[in-house]
Amino acid sequence: MPRAVWSGSISFGLVNIPVKLYNAVSRKNVSFNQIDVKTGSRVKMQRVSAADGHEVPYEDIVKGYELSPDRFVLIEPEELDALDPEATHTVDIEVFVDLSDIDPIYYDSPYYVAPVKAAEKPYALLVQAMEDQQKVAIARFVMRTKQYLAALRPNDGKLLMSTMVYADEIVPAKEIPEFDGLEDIKVSDKELAMAKQLVESLSTEFNPDHFRDDYRDKVLGLIERKAAGEETVVEAPQPADEGKVVDLMAALEASVREARAARTRHPTGEATAEEAEAKPAAKKVAKRTKKSA
């Protein structure tokens, strides 16, 4: 059973709705320990002084902000504690906006917002009002001494909340040098039409169950095989194709043919005549073109 990570109430106007927050995502990362290959034991990390290498007791460690190399401002825990935001237990809604107004780049961590038993009716009322008006609530709340900006949106009769990053935390696109001059690139009508055909041939409804973390599956498979005593042979990775783009239209046309053929694959898994014809052409083009976005 999931455990609530925060409890409090949603506050908008004079209305308060008691709620609990639950993590909406459970990360499936594969984690490793550092092992001494000679003894097979775990490697422990020690806090040592950069000046003389001696181990520093935890009680002698304070936070320091680096102003310049080897020059720090030391901050005591009590000084930080005095700056902590007021530990309120409310999600304070400030405004309602249209979902389309929020660029997804601002979203961070997702949570489910669940009502306590006594607050189910006002919770359902808020969700329905937001659904009918297609609105998202922008709010602030404090969790673990940190204040968060958050977006609450209705979804199938429930509220989902995503913490958000602040505007000054977004890296401006103009700072990415590779974007310079993109607006001056010209494409022909024929190239654009073919690119649209490729997009159309690959378009479908989004089904998250169709996608898996293939790398994680391979790592877990490797762990299982090695735990069972299997010896593994590591193959050197193949070098990336560094060939130059020779014919963009040929690559697009071959890609469209292959995408269409893949969508009409025979139920038995055998290639259709169209697919059999498309694949050699696509491979031929791929050999003389560089894979690009």
Domain with residue 107: its CATH number is 2.40.290.10
Give the per-residue pLDDT at 19. 96
Taking the whole predicted model, whether its pTM rises above 0.85 is answered as no
- Residue 127 resides in a domain: yes
Statement to judge: residues 17 and 158 lie in one domain:
yes
Q: Which two tokens stand for residue 124?
A: 């359902």
Statement to judge: residues 20 and 132 lie in one domain:
yes
Give the per-residue pLDDT at 250. 85
Statement to judge: residues 128 and 23 lie in one domain:
yes
Cβ proximity of 91 and 127 under 8 Å: no
Statement to judge: residues 158 and 287 lie in one domain:
no
Q: How many CA atoms lie within 13 A of 15 on its CB side?
A: 13
Give the per-residue pLDDT at 293. 36
- Residue 197 resides in a domain: yes
- Residue 219 resides in a domain: no
The single-letter code of the amino acid at 188 is S
Statement to judge: residues 265 and 152 lie in one domain:
no
What are the distances in angstroms from CA 8 to CA 5, 26, 89, 200, 258?
11, 22, 4, 46, 54
Cβ proximity of 178 and 133 under 8 Å: no
Statement to judge: residues 258 and 160 lie in one domain:
no
Instruction: Report the C-alpha gap between 131 and 137 in whole angstroms.
Output: 11
Give me the phi and psi of 255, to 5 degrees please.
-65, -40
Give the per-residue pLDDT at 129. 95
Instruction: Report the C-alpha gap between 21 and 115 in whole angstroms.
Output: 9
Give me the phi and psi of 49, to 5 degrees please.
-80, 135
Structural domain total, the chain: 2
Three-state DSSP at 88 gives: coil
- Residue 34 resides in a domain: no
Cβ proximity of 282 and 240 under 8 Å: no
pLDDT tens by residue, 219-254: 888 888 888 888 877 776 777 665 555 577 888 788
Give the per-residue pLDDT at 104. 94
Q: How does pLDDT run along the chain (293 residues), one tens digit per residue?
A: 889 999 999 998 888 999 999 999 998 889 999 999 999 999 998 899 988 989 999 889 999 999 998 899 999 888 888 887 776 789 999 999 999 999 999 999 999 999 999 899 999 999 999 999 999 999 999 998 889 999 999 999 999 999 999 999 999 999 999 999 888 999 999 999 999 999 988 888 888 888 888 888 888 888 888 888 888 777 767 776 655 555 778 887 888 888 888 777 644 444 444 444 444 444 444 444 444 43
Domain that holds residue 290: 186-202+244-293
Cβ neighbourhood burial of 14 (10 Å; 0-12, 13-18, 19+): exposed
